[in-house]
């Protein structure tokens, strides 16, 4: 049998509709980190993001017979993940804040699935470039906060610095990242950059 890693998404989806656990595992491996990165960007919680990603793939498996094998699986995953993440946000944010985020995300995803997925991926690429350009100490603090979900106090205790110093580093990091993204984003990304950057 052909190596599943060499198959495109459409072929893997076709196998999945026939209950192939191996195809499901390959799709999971192929997309789990992308979805996790997208979730942590929205939710700022590593643990919650892991739960959301697991939920998304549970939905995929449970609905495997109904999947459209000709659609963009990547766009489908990002849409389902976005909806799950917004549900989580509703537990911690006001309805007004959620409406702003949802409207912006919907505007991004409603036009064209392929294009919107490309825009999200482009944003993630530029975001990671900006993070990589931060000074080592500042980059470490930013990742501990945004990717590991640690509080300023916990980071301070972990690194042996005050939480005020941590807050200062995070503030400077966010300011640099915002500036970098706005300078390097193309026209399509600039149209939604304000919404995306609001969640840094």
Span 154-183, pLDDT tens digits = 899 999 999 999 999 999 998 898 888 877
181 with 123: CB under 8 angstroms? yes
38 with 77: CB under 8 angstroms? no
pLDDT at 195: 54
Q: Domains in the chain and their CATH numbers?
A: 1-92 (1.10.1740.10), 113-200 (1.10.10.10)
103 with 157: CB under 8 angstroms? no
Place of tokens 């804040």: 97
Residue 91: pLDDT band (50, 70, 90) is low
H or E segment to which residue 120 belongs: helix 113-132
Please give the full DSSP string across 122-175, using - where no structure is assigned.
Answer: HHHHHHHHHHHTS-HHHHHHHHHHHTS---HHHHHHHHTS-HHHHHHHHHHHHH
């Amino acid at each position: 049998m052909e190596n599943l890693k060499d198959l495109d998404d459409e072929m893997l989806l076709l196998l999945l509709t026939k209950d192939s656990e191996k195809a499901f595992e390959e799709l999971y491996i192929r997309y789990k980190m992308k979805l996790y990165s997208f979730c942590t960007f929205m939710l700022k919680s590593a643990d919650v993001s892991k739960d959301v990603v697991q939920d998304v793939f549970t939905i995929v498996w449970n609905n495997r017979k109904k999947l459209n094998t000709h659609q963009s699986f990547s766009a489908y995953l990002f849409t389902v993940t976005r909806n799950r993440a917004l549900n989580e946000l509703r537990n911690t944010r006001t309805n007004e804040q959620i409406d702003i985020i949802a409207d912006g995300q919907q505007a991004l995803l409603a036009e064209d699935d392929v294009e919107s997925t490309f825009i999200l991926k482009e944003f993630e690429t530029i975001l990671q470039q900006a993070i990589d350009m931060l000074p080592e100490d500042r980059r470490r603090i930013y990742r501990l906060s945004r990717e590991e979900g640690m509080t300023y106090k916990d980071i301070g205790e972990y690194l042996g610095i005050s939480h005020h110093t941590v807050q200062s580093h995070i503030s400077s990091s966010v300011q640099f990242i915002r500036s970098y993204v706005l300078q390097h984003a193309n026209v399509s990304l600039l149209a939604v950059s304000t919404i995306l950057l609001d969640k840094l």
